[in-house]
Amino acid sequence: MTEKEKCAKGLLYNPNYDQELTAERIAVKDLCLEYNQLKNSDAQGRMLLIKKIIGKTKENICIEPSFWCDYGYNIEVGENFYANHNLVILDCAKVIFGDNVFIGPNCSFYTANHPIDVKPRNEGLESAHPIKVGDNVWFGGNVTVLPGISIGNNSVIGAGSVVTKDIPDNVVAVGNPCKVVKSIINEN
């Protein structure tokens, strides 16, 4: 089994010396650098390049520079997606965002996980666990979402939160670790 196949199955794998994974990371980071250097006035160029970087997108998306990811092809964003400056997505596994997702500045989504045991960690082994974000979710600035997390529809994650456990639909959650502080009642 290749390192990429191990990664896709959520098994421990070594991305550091695998030629295929290394080449993919280098290629997408070159594209991210190019994207981050485009003028904001070049809206068409930015849209074409971000759609080349990200695996699957809908039409109405905006990601402010700077933006960095590991592979790009594992990222899916829905319609009406907006991310403010300094978005980092370590997409060793799938990272899926629903429609109407708004992300504040300096947010990070990490699918990579490293062993607690020092021996395999020092060997460079890691595993990857997907992140799924529902529709109509808002992230305040400086939020970090850890591997394997799901965030429900219509929820708000407060600024500075570190999301270590799944968040249900229709709640406001904040803190480190992030916890639900109230339910959202839709009055429409």
CB atoms within 10 A of CB 52: 12
CB atoms within 10 A of CB 100: 18
Fold adopted by 3-183: UDP N-Acetylglucosamine Acyltransferase; domain 1 (2.160.10)
Q: Is a pLDDT exceeding 60 seen at residue 147? A: yes
Q: Is a pLDDT exceeding 70 seen at residue 187? A: no
Q: What's the pTM value of the predicted model, to 2 decimals?
A: 0.95
Average confidence score pLDDT of the chain:
96
Confidence of residue 188 (pLDDT cuts 50, 70, 90): low
Residues ≥6 apart with Cβ < 8 Å to 11:
127
Q: Which segments of 68-180 does DSSP mark as H helices, in order?
A: 118-122
Domain edges within the chain: 3-183
Which are the catalytic amino acids? 114
Picking from 101, 106, 92, 104, the residue whose alpha carbon sits closest to that of residue 151 is: 101
- Can you tell me the mean pLDDT for 166-182? 97
| Tokens (6 digits) for 127 | 């595993």
In percent, the amount of the chain with pLDDT more than 70 equals 98
| Whole-angstrom distance, CA of residue 184 vs CA of residue 78 | 22
pLDDT at 185: 82
